[in-house]
Each structure stands twice: as structure tokens, then as C-alpha cells.
Amino acid sequence: MKKRPYKEGTIFAVPLPNGGYARGVIARTSKKGGLLFGYFFGPRIEQLNQVDLSNLSARHAIYSKLFGDLGLIKEDWPLVGSVSAWDRSHWPLPDFVRQDDLGKKAWLVRYSDDDLNQIEAEYPIEYPSQLPRNGLAGYGFVESKLDMMIGPADKSACVSDAG
């Protein structure tokens, strides 16, 4: 089995369809590989040499999601560093919701903190739920979602948040 180029705490750049990059941090990996949970950050950064690796924290993320590692494996998402003094307890794996909007039903889904391929619990909860939606996102979806969330490229606003 080929060694994966990433681990928990790895920081990577996500190219955005309308130009520039967002940042991501891998918070959990699966034992079998291929499935990750990460936190994603704005603002839009124009060039890779502008990627600020400091001051990243889970509470400042604009998006968090279970996602596949194809963007990392294909090297479309460049690795740019790692979180200093990585402590997974500062980057929690949340509970998710599986929600049936037509039937107005919801179920909490809790994954194993040590293996994303394993669901520890799943049970009905009140509908609607504000928990993040359960589901695996492909790398193209993540790129488009972040591009939309961050908003249009603005040359005057596209700087690193180092200051």
C-alpha cells in the first residue's frame, strides 16, 4: 500500500474555481485511507507563497466536512505545512446529522474518533437539526463550496491574514 502524503495536522491549499486558494487542515484520517475530516479557512489567497500557516483554529473555520483524499493524492491540493504542536483535542470531530427534509426526520451520526470508516452511534433526533450534514464530499464539490462561501475574488482583499 502506498504511503499517504498527509497526516493529521497537515495544512493544504485548495484551489478555487474563480482563482486563488483557501486553506484546509486535516483533522482526522481513516485507517484505510481515502476518507478524511477537515476544517477549511478563508480568506481567498491569491498565491501559494501567501498562505499563512499561523493562527489556524477549528473555531475560526468557515467550513468543516468529511471528504475524499483524491485532490491530495493527485497533488491538485498542494501540501503547504503542518499545524505546530498538533493536538487533536483542539480539532474535534463533530457529530453529524442525516436528515430527511421531505419526511421531516433526523438522525444523529457519530463516527469513531479513531476510524472514520466506523459509525459509533446513529439514533433519531429532533428535526430540523443544526448539526453539520453527514456525507462525503468530493474534492470538486469542496472547491466549489469554498469558492462560493468566500465570495468573489477582490484584488484589494486577497492578502494573507498574517497582519
Separation between Cα atoms, residue 130 and residue 120, nearest integer Å: 20
Whether 63 is covered by a domain: the verdict is yes
Whether 128 is covered by a domain: the verdict is no
Render each residue's pLDDT in the chain as its tens digit; 163 residues: 567 889 999 999 999 999 999 999 999 999 888 999 999 999 999 999 888 888 899 999 999 999 999 999 999 999 999 999 999 999 999 999 999 999 999 999 999 999 999 999 999 999 999 999 999 999 999 999 999 999 887 644 433 333 3
pLDDT number for residue 37: 98
pLDDT number for residue 154: 61
Strand locations in 10-140, DSSP E? 10-15, 21-29, 35-45, 63-68, 79-82, 96-100, 105-112, 115-125, 136-137
Give the β-pairing of 105-112 and 96-100: antiparallel
pLDDT number for residue 161: 35
The C-alpha cell 474534492 sits at 139
pLDDT number for residue 33: 83
Q: Exposed (0-12), middle (13-18) or buried (19+): which is 103, by Cβ within 10 Å? A: exposed
Whether 86 is covered by a domain: the verdict is yes
Whether 26 is covered by a domain: the verdict is yes
Whether 105 is covered by a domain: the verdict is no
φ, ψ for residue 30 (rounded to 5)?
A: -95, 155
pLDDT number for residue 160: 36
154 CB neighbour count, 10 Å cutoff: 10
Whether 107 is covered by a domain: the verdict is no
Number of domains making up the chain: 1
Peptide bond before residue 43 is cis, with ω within 30 degrees of 0 = yes
Whether 104 is covered by a domain: the verdict is no
pLDDT number for residue 57: 96
pTM of the model: 0.89
122 CB neighbour count, 10 Å cutoff: 14
Give the range of the structural domain holding residue 75, as residue numbers without chain letter.
10-91+134-150
Whether 140 is covered by a domain: the verdict is yes
In the three-class reduction of DSSP (H, G, I as helix; E, B as strand; rest coil), residue 2 is classed as: coil
